[in-house]
Amino acid sequence: MPPSNPDWVKALKPSGPQGSELLAAERAKSELNVDELAEFLFTKKNLDRNARILSILQEDPVFDKSQNYFRGRHDRLKAALARGKALRRLSVKHSWTEEEDHVANDLLSEPTPYGLHAYMFLKTLEEQGSPAQHKKFLEPARKYDIIGCYAQTELGHGSNVRGLETTATWNPEDKTFTIHSPHLTASKWWIGSLGKTATHAVVVAQLVLNGRPYGPHPFVVPVRDPKTHLPLPNVHVGDIGPKLGYNTMDNGFLLFNKVKIPHENMLNRFSGVDPETGKYTRPANPSLIYGTLTYVRANIVMQSGSTLARGVTIAARYCAVRRQFQDNDAPKDAIGENQVLNYTMVQYRILPLLASSYALYFTGRSMINLYNANQKRMAQQKDVGGSDAKRGPGPEQLAAGSDLLADLHAISCALKAFASTTAAEGLEVCRRACGGHGYSSFSGIGTWYADYLPTVTWEGDNYMLTQQVARYLLKSARAVLAGKGSNNGISQVLQEFIRRRDIGAAFDVLGSDQDLVDAFAWRVSYLTFEALKHRDEEKQSWNSLLIDFWRLSTAFAQYQVVKNFYEALQDEQTKASVDATAQDVLHKLFQLFALYHLSNQGAEFFTSAATTVRQIQLATTKRTLALLDDVRPHTIRLVDAWKFPDWQLDSSLGRYDGKVYEDLFHRASEVNPINDVVFDPYPNSDVLFRGEPKAKL
Amino acid sequence: MPPSNPDWVKALKPSGPQGSELLAAERAKSELNVDELAEFLFTKKNLDRNARILSILQEDPVFDKSQNYFRGRHDRLKAALARGKALRRLSVKHSWTEEEDHVANDLLSEPTPYGLHAYMFLKTLEEQGSPAQHKKFLEPARKYDIIGCYAQTELGHGSNVRGLETTATWNPEDKTFTIHSPHLTASKWWIGSLGKTATHAVVVAQLVLNGRPYGPHPFVVPVRDPKTHLPLPNVHVGDIGPKLGYNTMDNGFLLFNKVKIPHENMLNRFSGVDPETGKYTRPANPSLIYGTLTYVRANIVMQSGSTLARGVTIAARYCAVRRQFQDNDAPKDAIGENQVLNYTMVQYRILPLLASSYALYFTGRSMINLYNANQKRMAQQKDVGGSDAKRGPGPEQLAAGSDLLADLHAISCALKAFASTTAAEGLEVCRRACGGHGYSSFSGIGTWYADYLPTVTWEGDNYMLTQQVARYLLKSARAVLAGKGSNNGISQVLQEFIRRRDIGAAFDVLGSDQDLVDAFAWRVSYLTFEALKHRDEEKQSWNSLLIDFWRLSTAFAQYQVVKNFYEALQDEQTKASVDATAQDVLHKLFQLFALYHLSNQGAEFFTSAATTVRQIQLATTKRTLALLDDVRPHTIRLVDAWKFPDWQLDSSLGRYDGKVYEDLFHRASEVNPINDVVFDPYPNSDVLFRGEPKAKL
């Protein structure tokens, strides 16, 4: 650590007004009740719980973040492993629930090498293991006597799971499976917790029986020696190298050279191989396998709002402290510079994202409700089908539940793509809105963004997912045209479009919120029927329609989010939980979110005849400006309501007290280890850092 | 370094077809003459020069890139300093020109701690120093006997240079200036080459004479002891900490506690303080100070095309090697998976960026021509004005040149903003198009993008610049309306718009390239006159028009780029240099670029009545698809023409030979130093990395 600053430096303050004064003035501008809004979003119980867990973490030096931004990969991984162990010990000591574990990790704000053990290894064993396999694998795993990961993705295959190359061949003679990597591209890759940490892996491999392929199935495979932690024979395993972010996780590669595992290692709750006959039992209900994927996607949607809100919190606070230039129309004798948050071009970048964070929050709640409704129905179906999960529900039950499942699947795909893109791209907009200082690691946004970025690719690449949404919409449209529309939400929207075929539409998007929501629905219908015409009538190739499908899926997702936000505002629970000021502000955020997207997609709204040109012009200019102006005074309180503690944000720019410059300067001059180093700057000298060995130049 | 892979791993190959086979097939699809196109873009002389310099660098282990992605900040800076010294020695040894120095740095592809010494310190001394100051400072600086930097930006002030807080107060009694930092926010910040390297700084400080402020001026200030390299008394200097990227540069902070410098340290070629009388001489022509800014912005425009092309090269090659799924309409018995570059949604993301890289290349050439024309005119004015540069040209010469200067200033602002945004955002699109593997550091795009990102903020924040462009366009529009339009390009465009006021427009954007260019011009005029109406007639505040100004400036920049691309294709020089195939392909790129932007801004084109809705629909769908299809077979040859050697790209995904998977696997398993480490994964053990001391958990 560099020495403390000299006294004459310590005596310096930023030129006034101070950041703390500016933020206090901001908070005084608005009557929004921050605590009431925060309790509505999170519940008082959870907020108290989070504060309790925070103080436990803050007590332990292993979680001290002050060196985080300075560490190289070696030290970063070491610190992350230490934190993973410490969190596990705390979890056991305090008997934390899964949710409390999640809160602790969230406050820490970086993955640890145990991440996929808890998140995927345990869940997969639970859901796909038989009772015997629970005893053999799940119990020791829960105790962390074995550490696992979920090894599906390969070097050559990510999205196309059917193309996985790792094989699991049944050996009837000794009742084993041979796990083998026939090509380099079969190497497992990207596998979290595998690179250095895991002792075991759930390996998804192509089941081969009697020379015939049966598709990908999950197998528990030991990969490292329990004592030495070295790779087992014929296993090649390691870390895949540094990444743009996510460097506190040891993503790994994994190759097998004909490794044998016993029959009991094939997770066989839903499908398996009879050890006597060698016959294959297929899963009764394929949708049971989809269940986890949908859950993961719903989770991504749920977290997208708060993910984005972190960046918005930092950018909003900083832009209220940062002052530059005077307003162009200020009187000549005006003193002091203008807060950059007063510039409409800055508001235009940040405030729609503030609106998006709230919109995604409400959509996340709606997503989880839909997911739970489906889980409930599926549980009912299992009961009807009998206690043998392998048999599953019969065709009638399947049909009854399939609408809900189809809706859930399509909505989760569309929203996963839209929500993660909105959050990721929004974070970068926030970072840039912080100007030069946004580029410093101390801004806290860069690292958060870089760690979040894989979310647009994993669990379903965002572009790939849009095809599934399009498939669903086309199928629904075909049914509607054939007079067989179901009762689900999208069928009603499509039917309304057809009903109005000879009337046209007239949506008062600037005068009526319901009309605004309906305009988004109309655009979805228009794009769906256009796509259907291209595909069914004009027989265009699927490939040639991919761009249209992406636009269609995005429109569908935007409609869902706008609708969810609108419905949340109408909801009695909302009206009972927050006062009139908050309801009014949330209403402005709703309008800002919807009209911002309407403006940006003006051509589609116009082409679909959902709105007139004039409405788009007004939305884009006058109305957006008016909404920015309405939201501006409440900005700081609106971000305060997300209740991110400074410790979690780890950001000089986003501190609650606004001491931006003091914090930046302190980190740079008194913590930054490179300031212990003295260069030899002369080209003809072979010395680089004084006191270190010369270089060979 | 981890041990070599076991033999059974070494024997593995990717599943076929091999990447090299796929790229060879791609190159066989097209007749485009790569070498001819490359020579047209760069000249044979320069290509040969680059190859010569590359082989010099490749010989020296100090430039070996294989550990680059693995290093932490300490080692990264040390290696960068070593490389800076080695480059300097090579430059002296081979008598490299400034251009050759630039090529070497470009091939290295990362800044070194000498970066701002060469780029800003030397240039500022040259341009703003008197002959005596050249002798005192420039000569030793050129020999690297002193190392310098350009210290303008402060913690509290970036864009608003007039607000800088560092003061330089004249002391008539001993003919010195006192350099002082009155507030913490006065600290110089972000200063490249200062953090650890520089012995001197050109400090931009507020000149104070007799208690009166005279604005920011440049002063040479020693900051470190020439022998010990420790900070001089009352100077606090150091590195500002890690950043999102650019971590091979030591950006620094700098505070002064009443440091005295002699009179001769104020750079006084254009303005100064008479040491006897203490009177201030103001600069004769303020535009002389703008000169450097415009040069820097023109350079950014010039480099934007190749900056983006690096990412496009990597993404295009990788997406031609990466195969996933079969085409949806493929016959049931089809074998093998589809190259992802065959999917229209992937083409839609990459090929318009390929078009943009060429568009920005031609715009860069045009930008430099305009800059040189202005330099020539200014030199003529100086001659007319006499040899005393302080006196400068008289009012008549100023007026004659001021149109050209005003055009240059506005175009350089608009293009700097547009080109750097296009390149930065385009690089991230390229990275994401590489799916999961795009997230690995070995993709080569992440680091390149992160290092490039400050370009959207420095040398004029991109949003700030759009105001200057708007000012210029409004001023031109007022002149046109008053019948006083000049002969410059934009006045003609505005006049045409006015002329057609009662006729309307009819641009055959899909049938005529000239009409397509004119439609972009029309849109600029429409937005300009709309903004003028809001400002002059409706008296709207400047602040409320900032978003409109940003849209207007973007439209103006897009028009410039489209026009430059079109004119380059008409140019005889182009027609003489490349064959008909190349001209046709470049023409397709031109259309793709223009129509891609027209589609994305459909609402503006429609609202301005430049096109019909139908034209926008067709551009967005059928025509774009057709152009993607036309360009697709030439994609690999088009990126090959940029002639980026593998050594420069340092990318597993972007290798010329397509050995993507072999390269990724090699780097991860045989070079990645973390694979020398063995974890202790058990939570109850205090051991983290085996063989290293226990942690205190």
Decide if B283 contacts B180 (C-beta within 8 A). Answer: no
Partner-chain contact B695 A82, CB within 8 Å = yes
How many C-beta neighbours within 10 Å does residue A337 have? 18
Task: Give the confidence band of B697 by pLDDT, cuts at 50, 70, 90.
Answer: confident
> A651: which chain B residues are within 8 Å (Cβ-Cβ)?
none
pLDDT at A693: 87
What mean pLDDT do residues B440-454 have?
98
Provide the number of CB pairs (under 8 Å) joining chain A to chain B.
430
How many C-beta neighbours within 10 Å does residue A271 have? 22
Long-range CB contacts (< 8 A, 24+ apart) of A323-328? A323/A22, A323/B156, A324/B157, A324/B158, A324/B159, A324/B160, A324/B163, A325/B159, A325/B160, A325/B163, A327/B541, A327/B542, A327/B543, A328/B541, A328/B542, A328/B543
How many C-beta neighbours within 10 Å does residue A405 have? 17
What mean pLDDT do residues B294-304 have?
92
Closest CA to A219 of A276, A164, A290, A173: A164
DSSP one-letter string for B644-671: --HHHH--STT-TT--HHHHHHHIIIII
CA nearest to B18 within chain A: A185
The residues, ordered by sequence, that sit 6+ positions from B463 with a Cβ below 8 Å of its Cβ are: A345, A346, B417, B546, B550
Task: Give the confidence band of B333 by pLDDT, cuts at 50, 70, 90.
Answer: confident
pLDDT at A87: 98
* Dihedral sign for Cα atoms in the order A276, A282, A283, A284: negative
Partner-chain contact A688 B78, CB within 8 Å = yes
Closest CA to B444 of B425, B427, B419, B456: B427
Checking phi first, is residue B478 left (phi over 0); if not, alpha (psi -120 to 50) or beta?
A: alpha
Cα angle at A323 between A322 and A328, to 5 degrees? 145
Q: What is the DSSP letter of A11?
A: T
Distance from C-alpha of A353 to C-alpha of A365, rounded to nearest angstrom: 18
For residue B385, pLDDT beyond 60: no
Distance from C-alpha of A490 to C-alpha of A186, rounded to nearest angstrom: 40
Q: Is A492 on the interface with B (CB under 8 A)?
A: no
Partner-chain contact B13 A678, CB within 8 Å = no
Mean pLDDT of chain B: 94
- Give B98-128 pLDDT, tens digit per residue: 999 999 999 999 999 999 999 899 999 999 9
How many C-beta neighbours within 10 Å does residue A486 have? 15
The two tokens of residue B203 are 């400090």
CA nearest to A159 within chain B: B324
Q: How far apart are the first and last CA of chain B?
A: 29
Checking phi first, is residue B249 left (phi over 0); if not, alpha (psi -120 to 50) or beta?
A: beta
**What would the 3-class secondary structure string for A371-432 be?**
HHHHHHHHHHHHHHHCCCCCCCCCHHHHHHHHHHHHHHHHHHHHHHHHHHHHHHHHHHHHHH
Task: Give the confidence band of B283 by pLDDT, cuts at 50, 70, 90.
Answer: confident
Q: How far is B678 from chain A (nearest CA, A)?
A: 7
Distance from C-alpha of B153 to C-alpha of B150, rounded to nearest angstrom: 9
Q: How far is A83 from chain B (nearest CA, A)?
A: 8
- Give A322-350 pLDDT, tens digit per residue: 999 998 888 877 778 999 999 999 999 99
The residues, ordered by sequence, that sit 6+ positions from B696 with a Cβ below 8 Å of its Cβ are: A61, A62, B686
Check whether the bond before A222 is cis (ω within 30° of 0).
no
pLDDT at B386: 39
> A5: which chain B residues are within 8 Å (Cβ-Cβ)?
236
**Which residue of B440, B600, B618 is the best one to mutate when testing the A interface, meaning the one whose CB has the most A CBs within 10 A?**
B440
Q: How far is A622 from chain B (nearest CA, A)?
A: 9
- Give B349-369 pLDDT, tens digit per residue: 999 999 999 999 999 999 999
Q: In what order do the strands lie in the sheet with A235-239?
A: A188-191, A252-256, A235-239
> B554: which chain A residues are within 8 Å (Cβ-Cβ)?
none
What mean pLDDT do residues B637-654 have?
98
Exposure b/e, A549-576, CB count within 10 A at least 16 = b:
bbbbbbbbbbbbbbbbbbebbeeeebee
pLDDT at A697: 81
Query: What's the predicted TM-score (pTM) here?
Result: 0.96
Closest CA to B110 of B54, B50, B68, B60: B68
Distance from C-alpha of A259 to C-alpha of A239, rounded to nearest angstrom: 20
The residues, ordered by sequence, that sit 6+ positions from A654 with a Cβ below 8 Å of its Cβ are: A313, A314, A315, A317, A318, A443, A444, A644, A646
Between residues 626 and 665 of chain A, which touch chain B (CB distance below 8 Å)?
Answer: 661-662, 664-665
- The ranges of chain A with pLDDT < 70 are 286-291, 382-401
Decide if A362 contacts A578 (C-beta within 8 A). Answer: no
Which domains are seen in chain A, by residue range? 119-282 (2.40.110.10), 293-327+337-640 (1.20.140.10)
* Dihedral sign for Cα atoms in the order A670, A672, A678, A683: negative
Cα angle at B551 between B545 and B557, to 5 degrees? 130
Residue A192 annotated as lining a ligand binding site: yes
Residues of B classed as catalytic: 459
Q: What is the SS3 assignment for A97?
A: coil
Q: What is the SS3 assignment for A253?
A: strand
Decide if B359 contacts B593 (C-beta within 8 A). Answer: yes
How many C-beta neighbours within 10 Å does residue B336 have? 11
| Residues of each annotated binding site of B for FAD | 153, 192
Decide if A450 contacts B440 (C-beta within 8 A). Answer: no
Partner-chain contact A82 B113, CB within 8 Å = no
Task: Give the confidence band of B378 by pLDDT, cuts at 50, 70, 90.
Answer: confident
Structural Rg of chain B based on CA atoms: 28
- Give B426-437 pLDDT, tens digit per residue: 999 999 999 999
Distance from C-alpha of B155 to C-alpha of B149, rounded to nearest angstrom: 16
**What would the 3-class secondary structure string for B143-191 be?**
CCCCCCCEECCECCCCCCHHHCCCEEEEECCCCEEEEECCCHHHCEEEE
The two tokens of residue A424 are 């990721």
Partner-chain contact A695 B461, CB within 8 Å = no
- Give A148-184 pLDDT, tens digit per residue: 999 999 999 999 999 999 999 999 999 999 999 999 9
> A453: which chain B residues are within 8 Å (Cβ-Cβ)?
439
CA nearest to A68 within chain B: B242
Distance from C-alpha of B243 to C-alpha of A437, rounded to nearest angstrom: 9
pLDDT at A682: 98
**What would the 3-class secondary structure string for A589-647 be?**
HHHHHHHHHHHHCHHHHHHCCCCCHHHHHHHHHHHHHHHHHHHHHHHHHHHHCCCCCHH
Distance from C-alpha of A660 to C-alpha of A302, rounded to nearest angstrom: 30
- C-alpha distances in Å from residue B456, one per residue of A610, B163, B416, B452, B462: 36, 21, 8, 8, 6
Distance from C-alpha of A581 to C-alpha of A32, rounded to nearest angstrom: 6
The two tokens of residue A403 are 């609408």
Distance from C-alpha of A689 to C-alpha of A680, rounded to nearest angstrom: 6
Residue A460 annotated as lining a ligand binding site: no
